[in-house]
Structure 1
Amino acid sequence: MKARSVLLGAFLATFAAGAAGAQAPVAPPSDKDCVGRKGDVRLIVQVGALRSNAGEVAITVYPADPERFLAPHGKLLRQRVKASAPMTQGCFNLPVADAYAVEVYHDANASRELDRNTLGMPTEGYGFSNDAPTRYARPSYDAARFMVKPGDNTIRIKIRYPR
């Protein structure tokens, strides 16, 4: 019985230590934190793996139209949020429950552009919904597309930094 108590005490101490070092949950956004006309569909985008608090995170939502994905003037909504490492979140009121795609980047120097090198490769962190792969080119709309339902919807995107 004493051995069980010691094991239980060790487990609880380990759990408490892990919980103390864990990141606090991100508070849900208030209505004033959300962009777009208030309605029945809300999207919360949590952007993780930020390396610093420098600059801002640009979060862009694209509608259910593959032709508009990553196209100039193709966005539905955009929000720029002060970077807060390791996770920053944005909030969007969407017009309808439908398919959407999201692009994010860590605009560390707050230039309001995704900085690129002379070859056109990003020099700042970026990411897409579904963590869509970008090995040799931008992802397709289908790779980044996800569905939202009425009510609150939350997605998580991990920032990828160039090497």
Structure 2
Amino acid sequence: MSPARNNRDLAFYMEARSVLVGAMILAWAAVGPARSEGVAPAPITVADKDCVGRKTGTRLVVQVGALRSDAGQVVVTIFPSNPDRFLAPRGKVARLRVRTAAPMTQACFNLPGPDVYAVFAYHDANNNKDFDRGAQGVPVEGYGFSNDAVTKFAVPSFDAARFTVKPGDNVIRIKMRYPR
């Protein structure tokens, strides 16, 4: 192979590499650095009137992020420490429907007390008060679980979504995941 051919190949490789590195930098700048799930951001202020439930001294603020639009509502449901009640009809401790404010919406709950809980949230973009699924039962609306519990082929277990709430103010984050 001629030296000129090698130089053209090297120049093409270097240009392609530069474009790829530039694209990676732009992507990182758009989403920001990775954050640890479950780590609360700086303290937030939520008025007692914005929290549902009887005031008990145990409060949970659920921040639902990565919302794609302001359409509809975000529905946040809290489940108690009993795994048999997780995602079961009438198994919830509390539910709140909040008008969507993309990219992050939050809901506040006064909980019965410190304990282990799990959270399920979904983006009811069409505002029909139902978690819509397709013919195969696959979700067609965005959803998320506490601990960013994995949902590849089925709903996650209670153990995958559980977290501990302590007395006082608690904050968790849920990343909304949308079907493709």
What TM-score do the two structures reach when normalised by structure 1?
0.83
Aligned residues: 140
Q: Is residue 112 of structure 2 the alignment partner of residue 95 of structure 1?
A: yes
Residues 62-98 of structure 1, C-alpha deviation per residue, up to 9 Å, x if partnerless? 0010000000110110000000000000000001100
Aligned residue for 2:159, secondary structure, equals helix
Aligned with 1:79 (options 96, 99, 119) = 96
Aligned residue for 2:49, secondary structure, equals helix
> Is the alpha carbon distance of 1:27 and 1:151 closer, same or farther for their aligned partners in structure 2, counting shifts above 3 Å?
closer
Partner of 2:122: 105
Q: Is residue 177 of structure 2 the alignment partner of residue 160 of structure 1?
A: yes
Aligned residue for 1:118, secondary structure, equals coil
Q: Is residue 59 of structure 2 the alignment partner of residue 42 of structure 1?
A: yes
What TM-score do the two structures reach when normalised by structure 2?
0.76
Aligned residue for 2:83, secondary structure, equals coil
What amino acid is the match of 2:102? A
Residues 31-63 of structure 1, C-alpha deviation per residue, up to 9 Å, x if partnerless? 111111101100000000000000000000000
Return the offset for 1:27: 5.4
Aligned residue for 2:132, secondary structure, equals coil
Gaps of 5+ in 1: 1-17, 19-24
Larger Rg: 2
In the alignment, the residues of structure 1 paired with residue 122 and residue 45 of structure 2 have an alpha-carbon distance, to the nearest angstrom, of 21
Aligned ranges for residues 8-27 of structure 1 at < 5 Å?
none
In the alignment, the residues of structure 2 paired with residue 137 and residue 30 of structure 1 have an alpha-carbon distance, to the nearest angstrom, of 37
- Moved runs in structure 1, 4+ residues, more than 6 A? none
Q: Is residue 150 of structure 2 the alignment partner of residue 133 of structure 1?
A: yes
CA RMSD of aligned residues (A): 1.4
Residues 97-155 of structure 1, C-alpha deviation per residue, up to 9 Å, x if partnerless? 00000000000011111111000110000000000000000000000000010000000
What amino acid is the match of 1:78? R
Aligned residue for 1:130, secondary structure, equals helix
Aligned with 1:61 (options 46, 63, 78) = 78
Gaps of 5+ in 2: 1-28, 30-41
Aligned residue for 1:32, secondary structure, equals helix
Partner of 1:149: 166
